[in-house]
Structure 1
Amino acid sequence: MKIAQIAPLAERVPPKLYGGTERIVSYLTEEFVRDGHDVTLFASGDSMTSAKLVACSDVALRLNPAVQDPIPHQVLMLEEVRQRAHEFDVLHFHVDVLHFPIIRDFAARTVTTLHGRLDLADLQPFYRAFPDIPLVSISDSQRQPMPPVNWRGTVYHGLPISLLPFTEKPQNPYLAFLGRISPEKRPDRAIEIALRTGLPLKIAAKVDKIDETYWLNVIKPLIMSNQNVEFIGEIAEHEKPDFLGNASALLFPIDWPEPFGLAMIEAMACGTPTLAFRCGSAPEVVDDGISGILVDSMSQAVASIGEVIGLDRRKVRATFEQRFTVQRMAMDYLDIYRSLPDSNAHWAAE
């Protein structure tokens, strides 16, 4: 099958540091290449892939200080995709909404995975205007705020099975927080859990410009005033096995409709259980009592720390292997590709 993967330009594929969407695009692209498909990746020029790379910017836009407005760069990429659309059996978009008007003539050969939150009021009239575009959700809970649209399926994220090795016995264990410093991710809850349980906490997270005030006024003072809380900052992929594998548990104390939560399955791959608040996708990702513990309040979170740390790490890893590998993700997407009304006709015509 001739497959086009269209990635965001904000980060390279795969990203050097933070960037969940670009990381998933990379895993999926490489798996399709391994399976013998003819894959073309539209992404930033510094991306690393075994597929055919169409460089749509010199480097990732977030890393280019000369870029003031990302939209012109993204529109140029979409024009390149439009001009070459006839070359592909399926075009898989991971770029939110800008492409919707452009793909109307060949929408039946496309899939758009929605990677972000869908409960924002601005999105409702938009999706009502495009009910025909084939969409994929990354959790069932992500769909809840949406008007009637053309859902083709839900595909949970997956990781290469050997990407993050299993760690049976963590060295110098601690609680871990991985992701972004933002109000909805609730690192303040993670800090409070650590303080109330007396356990050390390590925070590996990036701070976006939009969250700098929250970081400076709320989170940084909490960290500076507590010696058992360590802020590591943004970490790269090669640092995750040590950071997650040596943790007793991952804290996922979210307070928003999380579409998926990649950190939970990254921890799971290492055998590290997750303590998650029952929001968004967490109940779909965490098998309560097996790969983690779900809670509804801070008091429950504090009371459940011993239980989550005591979970069998081999069963945590086994759950990852059963549910969240890149092989399963790729098969799920192939089933969706083949179900598209125009993809099979286009494929057969080649």
Structure 2
Amino acid sequence: MRIGMVAPLAESVPPALYGGTERVVHYLTEELVRLGCEVTLFAAGDSRTSARLVGCAPRALRLDPAVRDQLPHHIAMLRTVREQADRFDLIHANIDWLHYPALLDRLGRTLTTLHGRLDLPDLRAVHHAYPEAPLVSVSEAQRAPLADLRLNWMGTVHHGLPADLYRPSTRGGDTLLFLGRISPEKRPDRAIRIAAAARMRLRIAAKVDAVDRDYHEREIAPLMRAHDVEFVGEVDDAGKQRLLAESRALLFPIDWPEPFGLVMIEAMACGTPVIAWRCGSVPEVVEPGVTGFIVASEAEAAEAARRAVLLDRGRIRARFEARFTAERMARDYLAIYARLCESASQRPIAA
């Protein structure tokens, strides 16, 4: 099968440090190539891939100080995708809905994975205007805000990681870990208070976006100083491996409808329990008492942190291997690709 894979340009594929969508695109692309597909990846020029790479920006836009607005670069990329569209059996787009107008006459052979939140009111307009676009959600919970619209959902595909990316740790440590991004919806303030209530040390390994810098300096940095929290900053895969392996549990105290939460399965791959709020995708990912705990308060989370040592880290890793590998993700997508191509050949969507 010939696939045109379209990635966001904000980060390279895979990202050097933080980056969710681009990381998932990388895992999927590499696994599709391994399974025999002919994949062309449209991405930042500093990406690394086994597929044919079409560099649509010299480097990841977030790391280019000359870039002030990312939208024009994505519009330029879509011109390139459009010009090469006839090379592929299908196009798999991972840039939300931005490609709809450019690929209007090819929407029947274009699969769109929606990676972000769908509860923002303005998004209803674009989905109402393009109900024929074949869509994949990354969790069932992600779809809920648009449940009243008759959209062309092809399925839900949970994210996956290469089975050999992280090594499971059988012991863990005595610290708790917050891993990801400093932002109000991720609630690092909760993580700090949970660790304090559990009388455990906390490490925070997180990116601070420009839009969240004031929040970090005003609210989070003082809390970290007051509770002697170790701030690590952004980390790569090797850094994640070490931190997760040394942690008793990952704290995921979110306060928003998380579409998936890749860090949860990164923790599971290391055998590390996850303590998470009942928001968004969490109930689809965390198995209470097996791979972690789902909580509704800081007090519950602190108690879960104390109990996390009782969970079997080998069993957590086994559940990761059963549910969240990149091979499983790729095979799920291949099944959807086949249905999409069959449907398009029978009833192509006209412009």
Q: What TM-score do you get using the length of structure 2 for normalisation?
A: 0.96
Give, in angstroms, the shift of residue 125 of structure 1.
1.3
CA contact (8 A) 2:89 2:341 kept: no
Give, in angstroms, the shift of residue 148 of structure 1.
2.3
Task: Summarize the alignment of residues 83-162 of structure 1 with structure 2, pairs less than 5 Å apart.
Answer: 83-146=83-146, 147-162=149-164
Question: Quick one: distance in 1 between partners of 2:180 and 2:309?
Answer: 20
User: Which blocks of at least 5 consecutive residues in structure 1 are unaligned?
Assistant: none
1:176 is matched with 177
Give, in angstroms, the shift of residue 306 of structure 1.
2.1
CA contact (8 A) 2:90 2:341 kept: no
2:73 is matched with 73
Secondary structure of the residue that 1:299 maps to in structure 2?
A: helix
User: Which blocks of at least 5 consecutive residues in structure 2 are unaligned?
Assistant: 347-351
1:302 is matched with 302
Task: Summarize the alignment of residues 23-102 of structure 1 with structure 2, pairs less than 5 Å apart.
Answer: 23-102=23-102
Question: Quick one: distance in 1 between partners of 2:58 and 2:125?
Answer: 34
Question: Quick one: distance in 2 between partners of 1:344 and 1:256?
Answer: 36
Question: Quick one: distance in 1 between partners of 2:217 and 2:151?
Answer: 40
**Runs of 4+ deviating beyond 3 Å:** 341-346
Question: Quick one: distance in 2 between partners of 1:189 and 1:132?
Answer: 41
Give, in angstroms, the shift of residue 308 of structure 1.
2.4
- Of stretches 260-269 and 235-244 in structure 1, the one that deviates more from structure 2 is 235-244
Give, in angstroms, the shift of residue 102 of structure 1.
1.3
Question: Quick one: distance in 2 between partners of 1:23 and 1:334?
Answer: 19
1:291 is matched with 291
1:74-98 CA-partner distances (Å, limit 9, x unpaired): 0010011011111100100001121
Percentage of identical aligned residues: 56
Question: Quick one: distance in 1 between partners of 2:217 and 2:188?
Answer: 13
1:121-169 CA-partner distances (Å, limit 9, x unpaired): 1101111001000010000000000122110000000000010001101
- Of stretches 92-101 and 317-326 in structure 1, the one that deviates more from structure 2 is 92-101
Secondary structure of the residue that 2:196 maps to in structure 1?
A: helix
- Which amino acid is the alignment partner of residue 232 of structure 2? I
1:47-72 CA-partner distances (Å, limit 9, x unpaired): 00110000000001011111121111
Structural RMSD (CA) = 1.2
Give, in angstroms, the shift of residue 307 of structure 1.
2.1
Give, in angstroms, the shift of residue 194 of structure 1.
0.6
- 2:205 maps to 1:193: no
1:219 is matched with 220
Question: Quick one: distance in 2 between partners of 1:343 and 1:231?
Answer: 51
Question: Quick one: distance in 2 between partners of 1:343 and 1:22?
Answer: 28
- Which amino acid is the alignment partner of residue 151 of structure 2? V
1:338 is matched with 338
Question: Quick one: distance in 2 between partners of 1:115 and 1:21?
Answer: 7
Question: Quick one: distance in 2 between partners of 1:17 and 1:44?
Answer: 15
Q: What TM-score do you get using the length of structure 1 for normalisation?
A: 0.96
The size of the alignment, in residue pairs, is: 344
CA contact (8 A) 2:85 2:91 kept: yes
Question: Quick one: distance in 2 between partners of 1:11 and 1:113?
Answer: 17
Secondary structure of the residue that 2:166 maps to in structure 1?
A: coil
- Which amino acid is the alignment partner of residue 39 of structure 2? V
- Of stretches 306-315 and 90-99 in structure 1, the one that deviates more from structure 2 is 306-315
